[in-house]
């Protein structure tokens, strides 16, 4: 194996190793209006039906931008190529050809070898819904389609009016289990009689971390456990649902706590973790009940601060 030279690659150095057989696709003529992130996620969801994908890499700028999408098996790449002739992606007729593929870690890619459950490395409370019809899609239709999988907190539709059939949405649920239930049923889900593409949506980082499936713990325990990642302003614990919100001083502290907690056990139980945006926090507090309960939670945490800080 030798060093690779990517086609029309930018001057920035990029080292990798070619695989021994053609497991990849070289995809050109990408939509000029879509961001690298949207293209990467969209291409992953578009091609994952053909086999396990190990990396999706976007390189270049403007008309020279291209994607190298690598499968785990060469036969999957060949099958994907055959199905891609004349394919229109994000409103643009793309050009697809075989490529050796790139053996590289792609941290933004959902690793397909992991089971799609609550402990998937990219699991969040948000469901990505792609391949929507721009002219007719409504929040009510999405709510009616997905409400059976769990309590919906928020629906955010991204209309791509100039590119029919490329609109998408993010449906935020009350928990990760609801997203997993929808994903497990994705082959039968239709929105407006159209087959949609589903996946875990990315959460917007905030300074608040959401925890689920907690063991029987206290605010004091959580303050000790998570105080190592940064200063906590308060902890709100919902014992009935085994969930908690952890309020850090900064987004960076919350990110560190989330990274270190994902797929870890607390007192012998694996917890589920995500960021908590405004809508999630409001829904969480509403379930807690009265303002008196919330005030008690704050009082409990102030007591914890006296003991441990």
What share of the chain in percent tops pLDDT 90?
58
Taking the alpha carbons at both ends of the chain, their separation in whole angstroms is 55
**Residue-level pLDDT at 201:** 94
Q: Which residue has the higher pLDDT, 141 or 8?
A: 141
Please enumerate in sequence order all residues whose Cβ is within 8 A of that of 272, keeping only pairs 6 or more positions apart, or say none. Answer: 118, 119, 123, 175, 176, 211, 212, 213
| Range picked from 68-72, 125-129, 166-170, 187-191 for highest mean pLDDT | 125-129
Q: Which residue has the higher pLDDT, 91 or 20?
A: 91
Q: Kindly state the tokens that stand for 200.
A: 């875990």
The phi, psi pair for 165, rounded to 5°, reads: 85, 5
> Which of 187-191, 216-220, 237-241 is predicted least confidently?
187-191
Q: Residues 264-281: what's their mean pLDDT?
A: 94
Q: Residues 289-297: what's their mean pLDDT?
A: 51
Q: For tokens 């050809």, what's the residue?
A: 97
> Which of 35-39, 120-124, 228-232, 264-268 is predicted least confidently?
35-39
Please enumerate in sequence order all residues whose Cβ is within 8 A of that of 62, keeping only pairs 6 or more positions apart, or say none. Answer: 32
Is the pLDDT score of 10 beyond 80? no
Is the pLDDT score of 302 beyond 50? no
Which of 306, 217, 301, 261 has the alpha carbon at shortest distance from 119? 261
Please enumerate in sequence order all residues whose Cβ is within 8 A of that of 115, keeping only pairs 6 or more positions apart, or say none. Answer: none
- Sequence-ordered strand ranges (E) for the chain: 17-18, 24-28, 53-59, 66-71, 88-89, 92-93, 95-99, 102-103, 126-132, 152-158, 167-173, 190-191, 194-195, 197-200, 208-212, 232-238, 243-248, 265-266, 269-270, 272-275
Is residue 229 within 8 A of residue 257, CB to CB? The reply is: yes
Is the pLDDT score of 41 beyond 70? yes
Is the pLDDT score of 134 beyond 90? no
**Residue-level pLDDT at 2:** 36
Q: Which residue has the higher pLDDT, 140 or 290?
A: 140
In this structure, the dihedral spanned by the alpha carbons of residues 44, 47, 50 and 55, taken in order and rounded to 10 degrees, is -40
Which of 194, 200, 195 has the alpha carbon at shortest distance from 173? 200
Is the pLDDT score of 283 beyond 60? yes
Is the pLDDT score of 123 beyond 70? yes
What is the average pLDDT score of the chain? Answer: 83
**Residue-level pLDDT at 114:** 52
Is the pLDDT score of 183 beyond 90? yes
pLDDT band, very low/low/confident/very high, at 165 (cuts 50, 70, 90): low
Structural domains present in the chain: 17-103 (3.30.70.330), 126-200 (3.30.70.330), 208-308 (3.30.70.330)
pTM (2 d.p.)? 0.61
Is residue 69 within 8 A of residue 53, CB to CB? The reply is: yes
Is the pLDDT score of 292 beyond 50? no
Report d(CA 117, CA 204) in Å as an integer.
Answer: 20
Which of 106, 278, 123 has the alpha carbon at shortest distance from 199? 123
Is the pLDDT score of 6 beyond 80? no
């Amino acid at each position: 194996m030798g060093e690779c030279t990517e086609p029309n690659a930018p001057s920035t150095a990029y080292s990798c190793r070619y695989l021994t057989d053609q497991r990849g696709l070289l995809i050109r003529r990408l939509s000029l209006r879509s961001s690298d992130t949207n293209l990467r996620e969209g291409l992953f969801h578009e091609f994952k039906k053909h086999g396990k994908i190990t990396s999706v890499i976007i390189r270049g700028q403007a008309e020279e931008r291209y994607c190298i999408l690598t499968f785990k098996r060469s036969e999957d790449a060949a099958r994907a190529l055959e199905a891609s002739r004349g394919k229109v992606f994000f409103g643009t007729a793309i050009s697809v050809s075989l490529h050796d593929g790139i053996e590289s870690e792609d941290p933004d890619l959902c690793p397909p070898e992991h089971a799609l459950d609550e402990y998937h490395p990219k699991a969040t409370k948000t469901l990505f819904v792609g391949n929507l019809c721009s002219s007719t899609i409504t929040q009510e239709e999405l709510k009616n389609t997905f409400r059976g999988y769990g309590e919906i907190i928020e629906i955010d539709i991204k209309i791509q009016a100039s590119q029919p059939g490329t609109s998408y949405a993010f449906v935020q649920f009350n928990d990760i289990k609801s997203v997993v239930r929808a994903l497990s049923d994705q082959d039968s889900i239709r929105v407006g009689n159209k087959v949609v593409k589903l996946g875990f949506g990315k959460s917007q980082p905030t300074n608040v971390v959401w925890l689920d499936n907690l063991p029987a713990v206290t605010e004091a325990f959580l303050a000790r456990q998570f105080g190592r990642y940064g200063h906590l302003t308060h902890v709100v614990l919902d014992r009935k649902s085994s969930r908690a919100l952890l309020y850090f001083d900064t987004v960076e502290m919350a990110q560190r706590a989330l990274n270190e907690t994902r797929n870890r056990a607390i007192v012998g139980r694996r917890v589920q973790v995500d960021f908590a945006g405004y809508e999630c926090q409001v829904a969480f507090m509403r379930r807690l009940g009265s303002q008196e309960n919330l005030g008690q939670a704050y009082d409990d945490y102030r007591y914890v601060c006296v003991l441990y800080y």
